[in-house]
Amino acid sequence: MAKVPVQFTLNGEDKAEFVESGVTLLKALREKIGDTSPKGGCQQGTCGACSVLIDGELRLSCLTLAETCDGASIVTTAGLAEGGVMHPLQRAFLDGFATQCGFCTPGMLMAAKALLDRNPDPTRDDVVEAISGNICRCTGYEPIIQAVLSAARANSHQVA
């Protein structure tokens, strides 16, 4: 299959790769670049486990062709912690027991980050809507919702 050059930033690092034409961003990230934080669940756009941010927008990496990401800024869960310190969302998920098997967690975190980036003070309904594209088979969702609200509160206290 033809290889296509693609350059982008991944969690702030410049990347220049040749990817097979037609390969998904999920596959390129996991199998070529070595970032396994986006998870391959359904691989058809229904579970949200593969969610990443592309130029600040929440996107499903299983439905995104890697070759369309030329020039993009991509953020995955692997890029959330800074200097070895967990992102407030990661801390809230851990403290609030919002992760069990953990398979949905990277996608949930990215959906939550996308929400808090555009709305730092969300309501419960805002959180429910923001994670509505992400399936969790373990937690019953409530600990996840509470963790996102808790991270938002923690952020607002930091600002104040």
Q: Residues interacting with ligand FES, by CB under 6 A?
A: 40-43, 45-50, 60, 62, 99-104, 136-139
**Nearer to ligand FES among residue 10 and residue 62 (C-beta):** 62
Shortest distance, position 38 Cβ to ligand FES, whole Å = 8
Q: Nearest distance from residue 65's CB to ligand FES, in Å?
A: 13
Coil, strand or helix: which one is 149? helix
Judged by beta carbon, residue 48 or residue 88, the one nearer ligand FES is 48
| CB nearer ligand FES, residue 33 or residue 62 | 62
Q: How far apart are CA 32 and CA 128, in angstroms?
A: 34
Alpha helices in 1-87 (DSSP H): 25-27
Tokens 């040749």 belong to: 18
Residue pointed to by tokens 């220049």: 16
Strand order in the sheet with 51-54: 13-20, 3-10, 73-75, 51-54, 57-60
Backbone angles phi, psi at 20, to 5 degrees: -65, 135
- What is the smallest separation between the CB atom of 159 and ligand FES, expressed in angstroms? 30
5 vs 22 by CB, closer to ligand FES: 22
Shortest distance in whole angstroms from residue 144 CB to ligand FES: 8
